[in-house]
Amino acid sequence: MEETIKSGKEVIDEFFSGILNIEGVDEKTVEMLVKLYGNDKLTDTNIQNELEGLKISALKTSKKDSDDQN
Amino acid sequence: MTKINNLEITGLRGVKETLDLNLNKKSILIYGDNGTGKSSLTDSFEWFYNNHIVHLSNEEISGRGREALRNIFLSNQDDGYINLNFDDNDLDAKKSIDNSNKIHISNTSNYFNEYIQDSGSENLILRYRDLVEFIIATKTEKLNKLQEIIGFSEVAKIRTLLKRNFGRIKKNIKSSDYDGRKSVRQATILENLGRNAYSDEQLFDGVNELTKPLELKIVAKSRDDINAVIKEITSKEDSKLSDEINFNGRVKDTIAELKEISSTVNIDYSNFHTAFQGLQKEPEKIKNLQLLALLKEGKSVLTKDVVEDDYCPLCLQEKSKVQLIQELNIRTDELEQLAEEKNSIDEQAKELKQAIQIKKNSFEAILKDKSFEDKKFEELKGKLNSFKATLNSLISELDKGLTDKIKDPKELNLSEKELQSLVETTASEIKKLTKSKASNIKFTIYTKLIQTSNAYKEYLNLDAEESVLRKQQVTFELLYEDFIRRQEESLNIFLSMFSKDINDYYTTMNPKEKVEDIRLIPLTKKEELVGITIDYKFFDVRRVPPEAYLSESHINCLGLSFFLASVKAFNKRNNFFILDDVISSFDRSHRYRFAQLLTEKFGEYQIILLTHEKEFFELVSSEVKSKGWLLKNFKWSKESGKGIEKGIADIKERILKKLEDRNTDGLGNDIRVYTEKVMKKVAYELEAKVSYRDNTTNEKRMAPELLDAVQNKLKASTELKEIANIPKIKGMPMFVGNTTSHDNDFQASIEDLDAIWEDVKKMIHSFYCKECNKFISTKLYDPVRKKIRCGCENLIYDWK
């Protein structure tokens, strides 16, 4: 029984070690989640803050790219 | 895997003097009457491993049960402790508690700390009161409990995090109405440029076409070029007019954005109104919903053993606790469905409110524009304010509670027609203003270019923002799907293997009975894992849930099977477990098979099996002894006065706490119950006669009967009769008449109760010696001196 049943931690660890390979995900969002999990800071508030940060940074980059293009 | 060599308990719970068991890694069957220290052993183990005792951790006994941990007759200088010696000597430890409830552990090694931490999640103790907890729990509770046992609580938390964030981003995208807002910008571009511009190329082509009549040297190939064109054709003389045109443009966009969502808002509010009124039409449902919290609290009181006996804590009627919990489960399940219906309406309201709030903010922002100070915009301002008021009203209606009346959708309709008309009015105002300088082509092109450029910038910003959010949404959706697949796969493997063991143990205890193929089944709703149920074949037909078809004895068997399967599956550090009075409702054949199950399938484990049932002890003694078990009888402990009845100690603790807290709630009743328990002991020691009752009802002697019997016996001692002053106690309100139940309407102040408690204590101390912890007893009668005494002669009275 012990050999085949995965503990909750094993399920979570396996998930986080493989999420970058899931097709179609946004790399930066996934990296952010992996980092929070690794630092034991995966909370709802932290995720929200990080997502907002990623959004602002993406918008700045988009504006800069567009400015550079011109 | 660890086994116990020796255990020693002193001064904890009901054990005042040392309880020493030399187990030498062997299993043991212990028999003892209630109050002889059996459960004290279990409580001490729970404290050793978990640092608290769950059934004592209620509001009345604070400090995670520590307040009630030390034996109350222990002197202030002595520590209460449990000393465990294991087959692995490095784990040997003594855990003690001093008079100030300070805890000390002799073993401070990391090795021991890791062992304790690991043991905290293992299944080491099963008490009778916890036996059926899982079996009769609701489907959600079963899922939570199992997830907790197998370490899936964290898994469930992460799953919730992923789902919540996916939902939140999705809602943000919806309420931000990117499509509508982008479409408004494109309409502006189309109006001014004569074509849409979804890309820079389209924009540049349009701009070059627009500026052709000016024959400028600059050809727009970038947005900087467009800025340069604007700069070249701008004129300071026309800036006021230009500002006015821009202002009208902003007003038009704000109104147009609201128009885009007006029909959705009207429909959503109407749906919300219908659903809300649907719930309001069934006031019974709403009333019941308000009961949900009470029922849940009631269930918690029963499952946490705040109420230990079989009676309803509200109406005080006698009723099986298991049955009560089952009934509460059914009622809370029904109400949970209703709560879900209500939550869905609340969620609907929240989403709609969020979308409306964004538009309301836009209206507030534009209404603060300085241009509105000009009187010529008064009418427009009034109309905008009127829409803002409707948006405000919608928000406040969506905030209302179920008992409030909410406005009809007709009263709060956002008229799309009216909004369209306002858009057209502002558009024609822009045209009019532009036309006023129609002869000035440069100015006309300038205004069109400015509006196009602003609209395109805003369009790009909205598009970029939406694109980031959509990426995040897709990411969380994909992660969530992957995660639930992993979780469900693992859970299903666990459930299938775990079910096999439960089935094996249950059928071993119940052979040739028509219950077969017991399974734990995950339950899903809208593809979501919402619970776990137990099903089984009963006379070849699948049935669910167990409590509907199985007797209490069979449900207990199932609960026991669940615990034993948990021990095998999850105990990695400890090779022992404690079963405290778990066979109380088993019939004879089940009891014997239960003992066989333990010896045959759990032979490699060290088991501490406690029972207060002599019949069971005698029935299985030979079976377990032949397998090398030890046998122990705790009865000696009580007879020698070493054990202190647990119930009495608990109630006294409670009384003292309430007196300290100045809390009169139930205090009179506690004093009555305490007096009853002590007087039973006094009557026993003095051989005071009471009428015959059989074993069960013998336990339910009431205070007046016992006080009468003891008073009658005190005719033998004038001295004791005077000191005890029983008539005074009998005259106290809680002992007058038939106060068997808790419906005595006597309302005493804390001062009254304080005085009553002092008198009761004084009476009890005339019978009980604090020095030797023994009652005066006819067994200690000195026929020469004609005296009756306690163990140490501190209390000695004439007795004739």
Share the mean pLDDT of chain B. Answer: 83
CA distance A21 to chain B (A): 11
**pLDDT band at residue B542 under the 50/70/90 scheme:** confident
Q: In Å, what is the CA distance from B232 to each residue of B202, B213, B227, B676, B711?
A: 22, 14, 9, 102, 115
β-strand partners of B80: B97
Q: Check CB contact under 8 Å for A22 and B153.
A: no
Nearest CA in chain A to B475: A25
Select the residue of A44, A55, A66 nearest B460 (Cβ to Cβ).
A66
pLDDT tens for B409-461 read 999 999 999 999 999 999 999 888 888 877 788 888 998 999 999 999 999 99
β-strand partners of B7: B21, B84
Interatomic CA distance for residues B657 and B651, integer angstroms? 10
B461 contacts in chain A (CB < 8 Å)? 59
pLDDT tops 80 at residue B378: yes
Mean pLDDT of B597-624: 86
- B181 three-class SS: helix
Q: Check CB contact under 8 Å for A1 and B150.
A: no
Select the residue of A6, A25, A44 nearest B478 (Cβ to Cβ).
A25
**Interface predicted TM-score (ipTM) of this complex, two decimals:** 0.93
Mean pLDDT of B700-728: 85
pLDDT tens for B299-339 read 877 776 666 677 787 777 777 777 788 788 888 888 888 88
Q: Which of these ranges, B464-468, B567-571, B598-602, has the smallest mean pLDDT?
A: B567-571
Q: Check CB contact under 8 Å for B465 and A70.
A: no
Q: Check CB contact under 8 Å for A26 and B151.
A: no
B165 contacts in chain A (CB < 8 Å)? 44, 47-48, 51
Within a 10 A sphere around the Cβ of B782, how many other Cβ atoms?
12
Q: Which amino acid type is present at position B537?
A: K
Q: What does the pLDDT read at residue B185?
A: 94
For chain B, give the longest Cα–Cα distance.
Answer: 138
pLDDT tens for B200-236 read 999 999 999 999 998 888 888 988 899 999 988 887 7
By the 8 A CB rule, do B788 and B723 touch?
A: no
By the 8 A CB rule, do B442 and B233 touch?
A: yes
- Could you give the percent of chain B with pLDDT greater than 90? 31
| Structure token digits, residue B693 | 């009752």
Is B755 or B584 the better-scoring residue by pLDDT? Answer: B755
| Structure token digits, residue B350 | 């929240």
Q: What share of chain A is helix, strand, coil (3-state, %, to 5)?
A: 75, 0, 25
The listed range with the strongest mean pLDDT (B187-196, B279-288, B313-322, B544-553) is B187-196
pLDDT tens for B65-120 read 566 777 777 777 888 899 999 999 999 999 988 888 888 999 999 999 999 988 88
Backbone angles phi, psi at B573, to 5 degrees: -100, -30
Q: What does the pLDDT read at residue B546?
A: 65
CA distance A1 to chain B (A): 7
Interatomic CA distance for residues B553 and B555, integer angstroms? 5
Pairing of strands B80-86, B774-775: unpaired
Q: Check CB contact under 8 Å for A5 and B483.
A: no
pLDDT tops 50 at residue B796: yes
pLDDT tops 60 at residue B742: no
Is B188 or B296 the better-scoring residue by pLDDT? Answer: B188
Q: Is B150 on the interface with A (CB under 8 A)?
A: yes
Q: What does the pLDDT read at residue B647?
A: 44
- Could you give the percent of chain A with pLDDT greater than 90? 53
Q: What does the pLDDT read at residue B437?
A: 78
Q: In Å, what is the CA distance from B303 to each residue of A15, B134, B299, B531, B785?
A: 36, 11, 6, 19, 54
For chain B, the distance separating the N- and C-terminal CA atoms, rounded to the nearest angstrom, is 62
Nearest CA in chain A to B163: A44
Q: Is B311 on the interface with A (CB under 8 A)?
A: no
Q: Check CB contact under 8 Å for A26 and B158.
A: no
Helix residue ranges per DSSP H, B399-440: 416-435
By the 8 A CB rule, do A38 and A12 touch?
A: no
Interatomic CA distance for residues B613 and B608, integer angstroms? 15
CA distance A7 to chain B (A): 6
| Structure token digits, residue B525 | 């709703």
pLDDT tops 90 at residue B198: yes
Q: Strands of B28-31's sheet, edge to edge?
A: B125-127, B576-580, B606-611, B28-31, B630-633
Q: Strands of B19-22's sheet, edge to edge?
A: B19-22, B4-10, B80-86, B93-97, B103-105
Nearest-5° angle of CA B386, CA B390, CA B396?
140
Query: B394: exposed, middle or buried (C-beta count within 10 Å: 0-12, 13-18, 19+)?
Result: buried
Q: What does the pLDDT read at residue A34?
A: 94
By the 8 A CB rule, do B437 and B241 touch?
A: yes
Interatomic CA distance for residues A43 and A34, integer angstroms? 12
Nearest CA in chain B to A3: B569
pLDDT tens for B243-282 read 888 899 999 999 999 999 999 999 999 999 999 888 888 7
Pairing of strands B606-611, B28-31: parallel
Nearest residue to B797 (alpha-carbon basis) of B758, B762, B769: B769
Q: Is B219 on the interface with A (CB under 8 A)?
A: no
Q: Is the peptide bond before B783 cis (omega within 30 degrees of 0)?
A: no
List b or e across B611-637, with b for residues whose CB sees 16 or more CB atoms inside 10 angstroms. bbeeebbebbeeebeeeebbebebeeb
pLDDT tens for A1-28 read 444 667 778 888 999 999 989 999 999 9
pTM: predicted TM-score of the whole model, two decimal places = 0.60
Q: Check CB contact under 8 Å for A9 and B486.
A: no
**pLDDT band at residue B153 under the 50/70/90 scheme:** confident
Q: What does the pLDDT read at residue B739?
A: 38
CA distance B230 to chain A (A): 16
Residue by residue, what is the 3-state secondary structure of B184-219?
HHHHHHHHHHCCCCCCHHHHHHHHHHHHHHHCCCCC
